[in-house]
Structure 1
Amino acid sequence: MNQPGRTTLRPADPQPINRHTMDTEPETNKRKPHGRTKWLTKVIVASLFLWLAVAYLAAPWAWELYIRRHPDLDDQPRITRTSDGHPGDPLNVELIGSEAQLQQIMKAADWYSAAALGLKSDLKIAADTVLSRPDDAAPVSSLYLFGRKEDLAFEQPVGDNPRHRHHVRLWKTDEVNPEGRPKWLGSAVYDKRVGLSHTTGQITHVTAADIDAERDYLFQCLEQTGQLAEHSIEPNFHQQHDGYNGGGDPWHTDGSLYIGVIRATEP
């Protein structure tokens, strides 16, 4: 019964609960981070494919076209070439002896034959680089002289990581010394780290600019074996004393070619 002067409030009718809304709103909120992750993944994958296309297809093609339009860049027989026409590393050493004698003196100097390029060796050096594991036979990229890639390649690891190492590539020439022993021209360069090529964006070793230091170090190792019969220097082998290699890394030299005659061994 209502009392005079009082107002009785009736409870409001209960509103039906929309269970569908309660269930779906949290799910929508949960989907948002997943959607952002999916979008970010697509961006990363697209960027990766774009980099691969530019670094390994477009840039090498553009440089090859540039070389064709500037044939004067090919008139550098004392500098190696990359497979797509970039100037490579300068020649700075010459060794005289048979291939067997060359293999023998390099082994005695604690320089190891580099493995051939291939999927297995490429994956191995990638894993060794990431995990900081030594690799005495890590492959070297191919450079070209006389229209062909190096005939022999040797390296000496530094520390426990193939990011940095001593290495030399050698090409057998058609010339022989008075005793009929072949002459090998080579390029000795030090890899100081792994990085991106300045010209193509490809993953590669970054080389030290002072190529004379690596030339001198190689001959120091060879002389310590006792198997080097003669050591001479040809000055002014290079008229150009500085430049950039195929990866865009700078180099400089005094222009001299170091020549070593391997001691003849008894048959």
Structure 2
Amino acid sequence: MSPKTGPRISPRRLLPLLIGLGFAWVILAYFIAPLFWDSYARIDPKLDDVPRVTQTGDHHPGDPLNVALIGTESELLSIMKAADWFSAAALGIESDVKIAADTILSRPDDAAPVSSLFLYGRKEDFAFEQPVGDNPRHRHHVRLWKTPTLSDDGRPKWIGAAVYDERVGLSRTTGQITHVTAPNVDLERDYLFACLEKTDELEQTFIDKGFHEQLSGRNGGGDPWRTDGDLYGGVIKATASPSAPQP
């Protein structure tokens, strides 16, 4: 006697069901969950009190700041190029479609876009990345902002967050498709400076011990991060006579 089987769903009924489930996920992940997460962030002050971190566009904690550089814009671009780090493409339909196709088809993408984070009320001034393997699912990347102050020799100071994308997955907070970042951000900080030191364009390095008082947290996607609290800094070799600091 053959075992009984449950009712089967015909292909004609399965397709509308799958479409309906996909539509429900889009509504939940991209509309309902962000509203809930925004309300939760306002209720729980700990999420907004993490020191020395960037912010997402909707004012949730982003990635922790862990690197700093001193140099002109051209000097910054030069040392990153010499270190084999590439400028990330701007966000947009074309670049978004390209990174999606490259991820699915396992094609390298040196200029895959990164999501925008904010500091000083604006998104990053520069984003650089270094691909790992044959597709942009995993990569090294850093965002940098020009600070409001100048160095003693009149050159800009840059501060940034270096973080490693280890895979593509779903956001822990909204369920949206996103990059999942590795928790040990110190490894990415150390790797970036190892690359910069090989260029012979770095004049000196320094460490701001105890820059972070809070040594762990979560970013806007819910990914955990941890650090020893130190910020690594570097002074790029000057390629032109710097202007005197303004009084």
- SS of aligned partner of 2:10: helix
- Unpaired stretches in structure 2, ≥5 consecutive residues: 1-7, 242-247
Aligned residue number for residue 184 of structure 1? 158
One of 247, 253, 258 as aligned partner of 2:232: 258
One of 56, 59, 70 as aligned partner of 1:85: 59
CA contact (8 A) 1:63 1:85 kept: no
Would you say 1:127 and 2:101 are equivalent positions? yes
Would you say 1:43 and 2:17 are equivalent positions? yes
Shift of 1:68: 2.9
Shift of 1:71: 4.6
Aligned residue number for residue 75 of structure 1? 49
- SS of aligned partner of 1:243: strand
Instruction: Determine which structure has greater relative contact order: mean sequence separation of CA pairs < 8 Å that are 6+ residues apart, divided by chain length.
Output: 2
Q: CA RMSD in A?
A: 1.6
Paired with 1:155 and 1:181, the residues of 2 have a C-alpha distance of 24
- SS of aligned partner of 2:168: strand
The within-5 A match list for 1:156-195 is 156-195=130-169
Letter in structure 1 aligned against 2:224: P
Shift of 1:65: 2.0
Paired with 2:153 and 2:97, the residues of 1 have a C-alpha distance of 43
CA contact (8 A) 2:51 2:213 kept: no
**Normalized per residue, which structure has more helix?**
1
Would you say 1:145 and 2:119 are equivalent positions? yes
**Alignment size in residue pairs:** 235
- Unpaired stretches in structure 1, ≥5 consecutive residues: 1-32
Aligned residue number for residue 201 of structure 1? 175
Shift of 1:149: 1.0
CA contact (8 A) 1:61 1:84 kept: no
**Deviation digits for residues 195-220 of structure 1 (CA, Å, limit 9, x no counterpart):** 00111100011111110000000000
Identity of aligned residues (%): 65
Letter in structure 2 aligned against 1:144: F
Aligned residue number for residue 108 of structure 1? 82
Letter in structure 1 aligned against 2:220: G
**Deviation digits for residues 120-163 of structure 1 (CA, Å, limit 9, x no counterpart):** 00000000001110000000011111111111000000111110
CA contact (8 A) 1:63 1:84 kept: no
State TM-score, norm by structure 1.
0.84
- SS of aligned partner of 1:179: coil
Shift of 1:66: 2.3
